[in-house]
Amino acid sequence: MRSRPLTDLDIKHLKPHATQYEVFDAALSGLAIRVSPGGTKAFVLLYRIGRRTRRYTIGRHPVLSLKSARQLAADALKLVAAGRDPQAKKLIERERYQSSLFPVVAAAFVERYAKPNTKAWRETDRILRSEFSSRWKNLRLQDVSKQHVAEVLDELISQSGPSAANHAFAAVRRMLNWCVERGELSVSPCTGLKQPAQTFSRERVLSNDEVAKIWKAADSMGYPFGSLIQLLLLTGQRRSEVSQLNWSHLDFEGALWSQPSSSNKSKRVHLVPLSTPAIKLLREMPREHDQLVFPARGRTNSAVSGFSKWKRRLDKLSGTKDWTIHDIRRTVNTGLAALKVPPHVADLVLNHKGSVRSAVTAIYDRHDYLDDKREALERWATHIEWLRGH
């Protein structure tokens, strides 16, 4: 460390170097002038609290003179001698500021609320990080305004479409309401804002030609996403149920998939008969995880994700547009009806929470219609096989 008795004139003539450097003041232990590559000069004080060396930025030169810097440094060293940290208040304020930044609060929301309470917490986390935290890196939670939220939503509508904007609005609104509940905000910036775009109940059903093209494209993509799409087409189950499928829930000899009540939306045990093509598909899949059929890459116990990216590739390969993965489920339901499968059997195949059977019948009727469901899915699989050949 360079050290010499400093004067204001000496400091004035210090030239910037390629890297930052410091010149210590021989008149007062620990005081130095720091010169940045850009030529900025600032007084700093090095001191120890216990075994830890700390650096305290006192102020810039020439706004702060050498005489004033020495006085402030001497006052700080008196506090150090008394066992007190001269930066304690400053550090507390800095920590408070850092903890109030939107990305920090958003991460806390995901960890403390979304992750323990919602199945779609990964999607919530992705939306908050990519659409809001990326834009508001240095914005405090308390400084987020209604205008900030509206600007992001307007941009999403133009760039990603109404659906993306609606999902983003739902995620950030829930997070900000959580902050209000915890007393971190008095009023949510989303209060008074309407959903960015009007939603309509979807009626999209894939045509036979589209089913054939999507199957072929999924075949070319292979495992994991292509295989996942094909299993969705063969079973009509929900995306979350298929993506989180567990090897232990499969009975290959009995050609049966047993969904525990904890793994499906209806919150009841659901038996899915597996058609011959479904069993063949599952047997040909690699076992890359002891439990998960579709594990995420590099994540020991996480299911596959990144559906938006895979879906874009599938659309390009199949030439099919304006459809969602959930439309597969509606297509299977419609296809079963076209194959003359009774409505109550189709309901049971798809594990609809609101069945055509009465609530009383659902409670007392213990017959699961397993043979009927198996016949329905075998007929549907045969139909897909026929589509693939035409």
Distance CA 329, CA 236 (A): 5
Name residue 270's beta-bridge partners: 259
Class of domain 102-181: mainly alpha
- Whether this prediction's pTM lies above 0.85 is answered by no
User: What pLDDT is attached to residue 172?
Assistant: 95
Q: pLDDT truncated to tens, each residue of the chain (390 aa)?
A: 577 889 999 999 999 999 999 999 999 989 999 999 999 999 999 998 888 888 888 889 998 999 999 999 998 898 888 888 888 766 655 666 677 899 999 999 999 999 999 888 988 998 999 899 988 988 989 899 999 999 999 888 876 778 788 999 999 999 999 999 999 899 999 999 998 877 655 688 999 999 999 999 999 999 999 999 999 999 999 988 999 899 999 999 999 999 987 766 667 889 999 999 999 999 999 999 999 999 988 756 788 877 878 898 999 999 998 888 889 999 999 999 999 999 999 999 999 865 544 443 443 344 568 999 999 999 999 999 999 987
Find the helix packing angle between 208-221 and 225-235, rounded to 10°: 150
| Nearest Cα to Cα of residue 320 among 218, 238, 202 | 218
User: What pLDDT is attached to residue 330?
Assistant: 94
User: What pLDDT is attached to residue 390?
Assistant: 73
Query: Is 264 within 8 Å of 352 (Cβ atoms)?
Result: no
What DSSP letter does each residue of 134-161 carry, written as one string?
TT-TT-BGGG--HHHHHHHHHHHHHHT-
The Cα-based distances of 282 to 58, 66, 86, 234 in angstroms read 67, 76, 65, 11
The Cα-based distances of 389 to 211, 215, 227, 239 in angstroms read 12, 11, 19, 26
Find all residues with CB under 8 Å of 76, minimum gap 6, and list them. Answer: 45, 47, 56, 58, 86
User: What pLDDT is attached to residue 96?
Assistant: 66
User: What pLDDT is attached to residue 318?
Assistant: 96
Break the chain into its structural domains and give their ranges: 2-93, 102-181, 208-388
| CATH 3.30.160.390 assigned to 2-93 | yes
Class of domain 208-388: mainly alpha
